[in-house]
Amino acid sequence: MSHRILIVDDERAMVKTLADILRLRGWEVRGAHSGTEAVDAITREPFDAVLMDIKMPGLDGVAAFKAMKARRPGIRVVLMTAYTAHDLIRAAEREGALRVVSKPVDLAAVLPVLEESLSRSRSVLVVDGEPAFLKTLADMLRARGYDAVAADGLDAAVDRLEATAPAVVLLHLRLDHIAPQDSVVAIRQLSPAVTLILYSGDRSALDATRAALPSDWVYAYLEKPFAVERLTELLDDLVGR
Indicate if the pLDDT at residue 140 is higher than 70. Answer: yes
Rounded mean pLDDT of 90-113?
82
What's the chain's average pLDDT?
A: 87
Buried b / exposed e over 25-61, threshold 16 CB at 10 Å, is: eebebbbbbbbebbbebbeeeebbbbbbbbbbeebbb
Neighbours of 102 (CB within 10 A): 11
Q: Do 172 and 79 form a contact (C-beta atoms < 8 A)?
A: no
Percent of the chain with pLDDT over 90: 44
pLDDT attached to residue 241: 47
* 165: Cβ contacts below 8 Å, ≥ 6 apart: 120, 123, 191, 194
| 5-14, 59-68, 87-96, 158-167: least confidently modelled range | 87-96
Query: What are 155-192's pLDDT values in tens digits?
Result: 999 998 888 778 899 999 887 778 888 889 889 888 87
205 by Cβ neighbours in 10 Å (0-12 / 13-18 / 19+) ranks as: middle
Amino acid in the structure at residue 238: L
What three-state secondary structure class fits 105? coil
- Candidates 121, 165, 117; CA nearest to 146 is 121
> How far is residue 214's CA from residue 208's CA, in Å, rounded to a whole number?
12
pLDDT attached to residue 170: 95
| 46-50, 83-87, 137-141, 213-217: least confidently modelled range | 83-87
